[in-house]
Amino acid sequence: MNFTIDWLSFYLMEQLEEEDGIKQVRMTRYLSHDEYQRSELKDFLDGEFARIAKRKVEMNPKTEGTPTKLGQFVLEPGHPLDSNPNYALLNRLLAAETSGESKEPCQELIQSYLRTSQVRGGVMIVVRTRLELIDERYVFILKCDFEQKTAVITDEKSLISNVRMAINAKNMKSLMYPYMIESGMNDPYHVKIHQFSHARYFEEFLRFIEYPQTMTQIVSEEVISLARQHIEYTYPEESDERVREEEAIELIAASPKRELAEKWEHETVMEAMQIITDRQPEVELKFKLDHMQIRTLLADYGTSLHIAKVNGRYLVLLEGEQLQFERGMSPVEFLKPKALADIVKEIEERSQNVAYTPVSTPTEDDDNPPW
């Protein structure tokens, strides 16, 4: 997958020392195709465009921290796609045939970026490319932050030299438009953005692009919806019990960490799980039992994963045909497994002993200890 560069705009952005938080563009360069071919940027960016285009992305990522996402243009009902300012700007960049024609939309893009909160200094690169053989046009927006305390080896006398403004392509943020589903098939409704950072400012500077819900958010909303339906079915009439259940669901939905609610029978849980996994088979199930972490698929519940309760203590049973260990030997690897019934019996006996341990009472001897 080879891209031909039609033009490139290069911007060096710095924070003004006398005005904390204010960014300015210190240097700007506009390169034509031939100028780019002769510049040092060619070696710096070679291979990056194909790497960005091939980077895998999901319509609904698993978590909020997923670095590669698909952004969709926000549309008001009844309005066409070109009414979105970000779509219009990206298409002006896409239509610019020369570096001269790109200056105005590039300046507009840079100013929008500089107004973003928490934006860092660095280098912004805007490029229009064409995919060879099929002549498809794409716009890439690349951002490299400055690296801190960078040094290079110089000579025997000075040993090292500090580099105040160093960048590399390793953690480069990127945006590609249009989204390439596969070679020769584009989606003009989406952009592909990549940002390996907890600060989401690279997502924020194009304010009329929204990012789809994560799989976690979708499943959470689905579960809350099913819980509300269950309450309506269980309490068809308005009652104090129904109000309490509805309030409990709202609290559960707003809680970052939750304990087992013990509200539904196993069959109800299986029905809800089936509804979710029919739509999203790869949904994960993660929870902690005291200090132990369990991570599996939601679809495993009821077949390969079981949850029980013995004398007030939770029991998680994982079922499978093969038990494998990784690095780090332990004596457990040599175990001859007990029968499940024996383990359950031991748990019952141990919990009963804890529950019924007699409390010692003071005696006459306690008042006259031997020492």
More confident residue, 199 or 24: 24
| Residue among 13, 319, 79, 63 nearest 213 (CA) | 63
pLDDT tens for 182-232 read: 887 899 999 999 988 767 788 888 999 998 888 888 888 888 999 988 898
Structure confidence at residue 370 (pLDDT): 43
Q: Tell me which DSSP letter residue 304 carries.
A: T
Q: How far apart (Å, rounded) are the C-alpha atoms in residues 252 and 132?
A: 53
Structure confidence at residue 194 (pLDDT): 94
Burial call 76-114: b when 16+ CB within 10 Å, e when fewer: eeeeeeeebebbebbbbbeebeebeebeebbeebbebbb
Residue 367 has pLDDT above 60, yes or no: no
pLDDT tens for 322-333 read: 999 988 889 999
| Residue among 167, 157, 148 nearest 12 (CA) | 167
Structure tokens that stand for 205 in this block: 């500077």
| Residue among 261, 198, 212 nearest 60 (CA) | 212
Bond from prior residue into 256 cis (ω within 30 degrees of 0): no
Structure confidence at residue 355 (pLDDT): 57
Tell me how far CA of residue 233 lies from CA of 52, 208, 260, 275, 369, in angstroms.
49, 41, 21, 17, 66
Residue 357 has pLDDT above 80, yes or no: no
Q: How far apart (Å, rounded) are the C-alpha atoms in residues 271 and 105?
A: 53
Residue 18 has pLDDT above 60, yes or no: no
Residue 19 has pLDDT above 60, yes or no: no
**Highest mean pLDDT pick, 7-21, 36-50, 110-124, 138-152:** 36-50
Q: How far apart (Å, rounded) are the C-alpha atoms in residues 24 and 14?
A: 6
Structure confidence at residue 103 (pLDDT): 94
